[in-house]
Amino acid sequence: MNIKKGVVGKVYHCPIKGEFEFISNGLITIDQQGKICDVLHPSDPNYSKTLNFLKEKDSLQELTEQQFLLPGMVDLHIHAPQWPQAGKGLDLPLNEWLDHYTFPLEHKFSDLSFAEQYYPHLVKTYLANGTTTATYFATIDTSSSLYLAETCIKYGQRALVGKVSMDDKEMCPNYYVEESAEHSIQEAERFITSFSQLANNNNLVEPIITPRFIPTCSLEALKGLGDLAKKYQCAVQTHASESDWARDFSQEKYNKTDIEIYNEAGLLGERTILAHSIFLTDSDIDTIKQKGSGIAHCPRSNIYFANAALPLREYLDQDIQLGLGSDIAGGPFPSLFMACSDAVLHSRARECGTNASLPAEIRGQKNSRVSLLEAYWMATTGGGQLLKLPVGQFKKGYCFDALVIDDEDSNLLICPDLDSPQDILEKIITHTTRNNIRQVWVDGNQVK
């Protein structure tokens, strides 16, 4: 047997949208490379033999009655340099918030010693909160963006890391802009090719092409980045149709939607993450589906900045690829557990509406709520599927990216006499913070 170790205990995961699987004495076996060899139920013929084999080798971790094993969280949208900003200015409109707080802060990361103060804290914080796969925007500075990738490797977090591209002189602040489209494309390519020199990577960290959003990028830069995506088979991330302001900008300047512009630049592929995507047209949705791209829903940030709610119910029902993003610092919380609750809240506000002076029948969007299990599926399986990575669920051949959760010294209270397996999972999703995450593994390596 190629099995290196095993974990046995109460296992939860959500391979199917809106459903959950609970295995009360699940045995997960892991190989030398940190991949899952098998997920065994007590009724499987190999179960006892495998359990005894691991016990004899002293390679079995037995979870306690109070502990639960869950897949690690897959966060599709994080602005790493905005971590020191988290919690500031969330009462401003998006463009004022960016100009006043974000761009001056991101600019400071061109100084590597500044980046060294904050990136390790961020990566450790996300891991402690259960995020085993993180998708990061860094800044326009190539060196410190590479340092973020090294930091993920050092602390053992699976990550897609993007050097941000922004070259539009009119829209970007003069202190935080790339000198030309040509330079922007060159630096993006240098960033991508530098990954082959990162020490001890073992495929844990990969580059992702990252045009910030339409207002900050020239069409020439977008087109060059689209060519790089094809040349290097790279993932892509950006913001799409986030707010009234962003949507109107594209219409007024180009008479096109964001999705039309990205598509023409060759930026929509099977591993393209479109953050937000609030104001999509029917034709945009067709294009996204046809290209196999996906949406990173950032429910908390959208409440602050998007001016409207995402039609998540409809997108889930149309089988658009969907995952969740915490969107530091548009959302201030470094936790996808929080984002699950926020996604439900977001959909409930949309369903009920908000204007109490209107009659209930016309106040909201009927039947648009989503369930906590659907949100949790997005935070795990959905995110993994969108990234085309074998993560987010317990399945033979998938990476062993996992969390052990219990209810000691925390806000979580499990009541065995009162709670069904679904109740327990819903309480875990709602109440988990770093305080009740006891262990975190990425690729079979314990990182917390």
Site string for ligand GUN, 327-346 (x = CB under 6 A): x--x----------------
CA 343, CA 341: separation in Å to the nearest integer?
5
User: CB of 98: closest distance to ligand GUN in angstroms?
Assistant: 6
Pick the closer one to Fe ion by CB: 12 or 137: 137
Does 300 participate in binding ligand GUN (rule CB under 6 A)? no
Tokens standing for 287? 């294009």
Pick the closer one to ligand GUN by CB: 187 or 327: 327
User: CB of 431: closest distance to ligand GUN in angstroms?
Assistant: 27
Site string for ligand GUN, 50-89 (x = CB under 6 A): -----------------------------x----------
**C-alpha pair distances (Å), 124 with each of 65, 97, 146, 196, 388:** 28, 26, 17, 24, 24
* Number of alpha carbons in the 13 Å side-chain half-sphere of residue 21: 17
Q: Which amino acid is at 417?
A: D
Smallest CA-to-CA distance from 374 within 17, 14, 4, 3 is with 17
Residue with the two structure tokens 């076996």: 29
CA 129, CA 157: separation in Å to the nearest integer?
12
Does 297 participate in binding ligand GUN (rule CB under 6 A)? no
Site string for Fe ion, 294-333 (x = CB under 5 A): ---------------------------------x------
Stretch that binds ligand GUN, among 94-102, 111-119, 154-162, 227-235 (CB under 6 A): 94-102
Does 250 participate in binding ligand GUN (rule CB under 6 A)? no
Pick the closer one to Fe ion by CB: 325 or 364: 325
**C-alpha pair distances (Å), 448 with each of 129, 310, 435:** 10, 34, 12
Does 394 participate in binding ligand GUN (rule CB under 6 A)? no
Beta-bridge partners for 135: 160
Pick the closer one to ligand GUN by CB: 140 or 428: 140
Pick the closer one to ligand GUN by CB: 293 or 381: 293
Residue with the two structure tokens 């959909």: 347
Which residue from 293, 301, 393, 432 is in contact with ligand GUN, where contact means CB under 6 A?
301
Instruction: Write down the H helix ranges in 353-403.
Output: 360-363, 372-377, 383-387
Does 35 participate in binding ligand GUN (rule CB under 6 A)? no
Tokens standing for 282? 């029917």
CA 40, CA 59: separation in Å to the nearest integer?
16
CA 89, CA 76: separation in Å to the nearest integer?
23
Peptide bond into 265 cis (omega under 30): no
Site for ligand GUN (CB under 6 A): how many residues? Answer: 12
Pick the closer one to ligand GUN by CB: 102 or 131: 102
| Residues that bind Fe ion in the complex, under the rule CB under 5 A | 327
The residues that touch ligand GUN, with contacts defined as CB under 6 A, are: 79, 94, 98, 102, 212-213, 239, 242, 301, 305, 327, 330
